[in-house]
Amino acid sequence: MVEPEEIRTERLVLSRIQPADADAFIALHGTPEAYPHDSRFQRTPEQAREQLDWFREKWAADGIGYWTIRLATSGEVIGFGGVQHKDEDDDPVLNLFYRFFPTAWGNGYATEMARAAISWARQHRPDRPVVITTDVGNSPSIRIAEKLGFARHSERERDGWPEVVFRLAPAR
Q: What is the pLDDT of residues 2-58, one digit of tens each?
A: 566 789 999 999 999 998 999 999 998 887 676 666 655 666 778 888 988 888 888
Residue 94 pLDDT > 80, yes or no? yes
AA letter at 43: R
Give pLDDT, residue 162: 86
Between helix 45-62 and helix 22-29 the angle, nearest 10°, is 120
pLDDT of residue 64: 87
Helix and strand numbers, DSSP H then E, in the chain: 4, 8
| Res. 105: pLDDT tops 90 | yes
pTM of the entire predicted model: 0.89
